[in-house]
């Protein structure tokens, strides 16, 4: 149902520009679906080529079933020599390829997207895209694809990063207080890293956009959102919580019948997201831990950052060819194919989620009130794990290693924590209030729904004003 249209307003027309990786693409697809359902015309600008097969599949499936209000516009990237950038991460390199092609967006927006109300850009691209959008005279908004806590860090980092070179073991972020240095994304400790350059440039540009949309909600991160909007971190435009954005239901991903045969709230779902790959040694310790826990489990296993490189990996080789799959038959299921994570978390058999704390995974767990055992691996995930624990959604063993650390988390430790995760009805019920608050935020009259409706109404009024001005002699 569309929101009421103010007098003089017109149908908002919004262009969305995501970047690379499922963690960045997913909130854009969800926002596109929500905006279309709320009466907006949406143009999804899709950079090509993409990094992962999952991105290509999800874009195609989304467009095949999307509202007629959603259209796609292909953005062909210029050839990019990866050797010219100081990173080997395929996703950071894709961010840079899109940024270096940003000047091509001006003619694309002017010719293919007439009468736009706004352009909504991924935060990882904003410093390169903002001048292009400004040149064609359009309002420019950002989707920040992580937590409000990470947004506070992103905005504070450009001016405070000089302190990283000293002896301090904490990093001051207004609105969050002091963070341990080892909670920061690993590349930020290297000023020459490509990601650090992008992070600093984008953090500075966030103060100059028209608004920042973020997939969170007041009940989960109210303190941090209030600090951001009060100017405690920097003089920002409005930070607009629009979460939790509901998942777009895929039609092409089959369900998992195995779950239907398991007792209620007995299964631990194990997944580290679309671009997190554990070492072979840690994968085997994880397998040993799940076996020793005695708990039922569904494990979405992955060994490569980019899913196209994972295709030839055999499960027996990945898990250690010692009969693990045979021993776990009936009690545990290991899959390598893409799963519908939202459907898994919604299933009554699932009682806990061993999770890397990618932000989309956190919001999906919250929607369904599934308790999280946080094991952050890289990037924003330690800050997100802090939000998980602080908000009552789960627990975070802060001593567990992450990408680049030499230490392994032992099978015995994993087993103990997994048993705690689903060991009693009280443990499984602990996250239920978080789920109730998340659902209320997104419902009619909820805080996030109202914030989004107000923004849509604003876009409609602005478009009407600009169009009236264009018709005057």
Cα 239 from Cα 214, distance rounded (Å): 7
First to last CA, the chain: 37
Catalytic residue among 24, 58, 347, 378: 24
Give the H or E element holding residue 372: strand 372-374
Instruction: Look up 122 and say whether it is catalytic.
Output: yes
C-beta neighbour count of 295 within 10 angstroms: 21
- The three-state secondary structure class of 291 is helix
Q: At what angle do helices 432-442 and 447-471 cross, to 10 degrees?
A: 20
Q: At what angle do helices 194-205 and 148-160 cross, to 10 degrees?
A: 100
Among 384, 394, 324, 327, residue whose Cα is nearest residue 354: 394
Cα 432 from Cα 182, distance rounded (Å): 31
Token pair for 190: 């290297």
Cα 250 from Cα 128, distance rounded (Å): 32
- The three-state secondary structure class of 171 is strand
Write the CA distances from 218 to 144, 153, 176, 225, integer angstroms.
16, 18, 15, 7
C-beta neighbour count of 115 within 10 angstroms: 12
Among 286, 295, 287, 293, residue whose Cα is nearest residue 408: 286
Token pair for 302: 């992955």
| β-strand partners of 85 | none
Strand order in the sheet with 70-76: 70-76, 41-48, 13-17, 118-122, 140-144, 211-214, 239-241
Among 465, 464, 456, 463, residue whose Cα is nearest residue 3: 456
Catalytic residue among 41, 58, 122, 210: 122
Token pair for 57: 């599949």
Q: CB–CB of 75/261 below 8 Å?
A: no
Instruction: Look up 24 and say whether it is catalytic.
Output: yes
Residue 235, classified by CB atoms within 10 Å of its CB into exposed (0-12), middle (13-18) or buried (19+), is: exposed
Catalytic sites, residue numbers: 24, 122
């Amino acid at each position: 149902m569309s929101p009421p249209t103010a007098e003089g307003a017109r149908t908002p027309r919004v262009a969305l520009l995501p970047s690379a990786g499922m963690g960045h693409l997913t909130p854009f697809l969800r926002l596109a679906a929500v905006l279309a359902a709320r009466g907006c015309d949406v143009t999804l600008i899709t950079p090509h080529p993409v990094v992962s097969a999952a991105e290509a599949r999800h874009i195609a499936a989304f467009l095949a079933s999307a509202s007629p209000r959603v259209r796609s516009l292909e953005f062909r990237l210029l050839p990019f020599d990866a050797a010219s950038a100081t990173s080997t991460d395929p996703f950071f390199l894709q961010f840079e390829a899109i940024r270096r092609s940003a000047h091509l967006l001006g003619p694309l927006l002017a010719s293919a997207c007439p009468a736009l109300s706004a352009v909504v850009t991924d935060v990882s691209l904003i410093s390169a895209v903002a001048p292009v959008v400004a040149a064609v005279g359009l309002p420019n908004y950002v989707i920040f694809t992580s937590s409000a806590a990470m947004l506070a860090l992103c905005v504070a980092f450009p001016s405070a990063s000089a302190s990283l070179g000293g002896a301090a073991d904490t990093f001051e972020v207004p609105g969050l207080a002091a963070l341990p240095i080892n909670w920061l994304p690993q590349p930020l400790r290297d000023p020459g890293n490509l990601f650090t350059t992008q992070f600093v440039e984008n953090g500075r540009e966030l103060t100059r956009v028209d608004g920042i949309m973020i997939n969170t909600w007041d009940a989960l991160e109210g303190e941090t959102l209030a600090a951001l909007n009060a100017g405690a971190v920097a003089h920002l435009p409005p930070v607009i919580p629009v979460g939790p954005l509901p998942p777009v239901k895929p039609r092409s991903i089959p369900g998992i019948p195995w779950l239907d045969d398991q007792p209620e709230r007995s299964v631990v779902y194990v997944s580290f997201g679309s671009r997190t790959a554990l070492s072979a040694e840690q994968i085997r310790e994880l397998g040993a831990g799940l076996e020793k826990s005695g708990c039922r489990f569904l494990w979405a296993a992955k060994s490569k950052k980019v899913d196209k490189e994972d295709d030839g990996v055999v499960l027996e080789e990945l898990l250690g060819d010692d009969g693990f799959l045979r021993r776990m038959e009936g009690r545990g299921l290991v899959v390598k194919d893409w799963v519908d994570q939202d459907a898994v978390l919604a299933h009554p058999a699932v009682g806990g989620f061993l999770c890397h704390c990618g932000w989309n995974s956190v919001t999906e767990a919250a929607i369904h009130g599934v308790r999280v055992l946080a094991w952050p691996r890289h990037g924003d995930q330690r800050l997100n794990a802090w939000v998980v624990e602080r908000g009552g959604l789960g627990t975070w063993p802060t001593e567990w290693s992450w990408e680049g650390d030499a230490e392994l988390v032992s099978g015995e430790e994993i087993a103990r924590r997994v048993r705690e995760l689903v060991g009693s009805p009280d443990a499984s019920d602990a996250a239920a209030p978080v789920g109730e608050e998340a659902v209320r935020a997104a419902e009619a009259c909820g805080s996030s729904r109202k914030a989004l409706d107000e923004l849509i109404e604003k876009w409609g009024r602005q478009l009407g004003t600009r169009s009236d001005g264009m018709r005057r002699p």
